[in-house]
Chain A
Amino acid sequence: MATAKDLRTLGDREVVALAKAGREAAYRELLSRYERPVFSLIYRMVRDRALAEDLAQETFIKVLNALDTYRPEFKFSSWIFKIANNAAIDQLRKREVDTLSLDGAPGARTADEVEATALQAVDRGESPLAELESRELGAEIERAIGRLRPEYRTAILLRHVEGRAYEEIAEVMDLPLGTVKTYIHRARLELREYLTHLRT
């Protein structure tokens, strides 16, 4: 019987096969692999942590309860990201907000709430000044991402944050490859434009 340690060495298809056979550990392995990427994508799309958790939870429940419909010829990651992206897009449409609050969750009222719910930039081991610049630039980028159209946001997050191939992004978004490349190109142009105050 595959142990939890063995499962980590298996590919997604093998883990899914074990999950279909009834192994709870296989389900948890899938959760463990995709918990952060899926949550991060949804969080950056909807910009509300509590809502993102609900949507991520619904995504996983939907996926794990429908494993018997999963077709192994397609990548599992494409399937789960597709469902996650659709959940986020549906939520955005319900709220009829294409461009969201740049700082903090939409429901944030006080300065403390805005600070607490704003997406935080990464902190790397650079010099204090470089680290400050990096953190500020990262925060600016998070804000700029929030201003992108949902389709551009999905494309750029999957490409540059999650490191997915163009073909996989096309599968996730159910779009032609050319359209995906166009979206990513336009997203980068828009990000550059939003961040233009940082230029000479």
Chain B
Amino acid sequence: MTGKSGVGKTQLLRAVADVIPHDGECILDADVCSSVSPPIWRKMVAMLPAESFWWYDSVGAHFNGGLLHPEFKDLMERLGFSQDVMEWQVSRLSTGERQRLSLIRTLINRPRVLLLDEPTSALDKKMVAVVEEIIADIRFHRQISCIWVSHDRDQLFRVADTVCTVETTGLVKENRE
């Protein structure tokens, strides 16, 4: 999804993740959002916000042992982190490091739908390519759906099956030019 600043792209993602009051209903396979307990819904339909927040001093405390699975060790390496990253202090992370770690943190819950709000805005070209590749792999292997919000139209046409522009009137499907 793309669209002008302030048109409501982030709000749309927050509504799907059910962290703001909204009209309508989200249905995932047979699960209706309003009848699933909120924490479970948000684990199934995981949103990666544009700005990540951290509340403990050390990086590791935010991951709660979820990284023991070899899949995540591999993910860490692909995103350019060494094994000792869990001992790092959050206050010393760069914006880009936070963004990459935040992606891993969201993936740990093994969501069935991923809502990505400008997930590569703070990354260099090389890392943008790595993240795009990781998301493509996950979509392929786990068969999950993804809503990717970005201002970069070229990126959207690289990663998405369908590209839409959010207008105040609704969604408009875009064609590859």
The reply to whether chain A is a binding partner of chain B is no
Q: What residues of chain B have their CB less than 8 Å away from a CB belonging to chain A?
A: none
Q: What residues of chain A have their CB less than 8 Å away from a CB belonging to chain B?
A: none
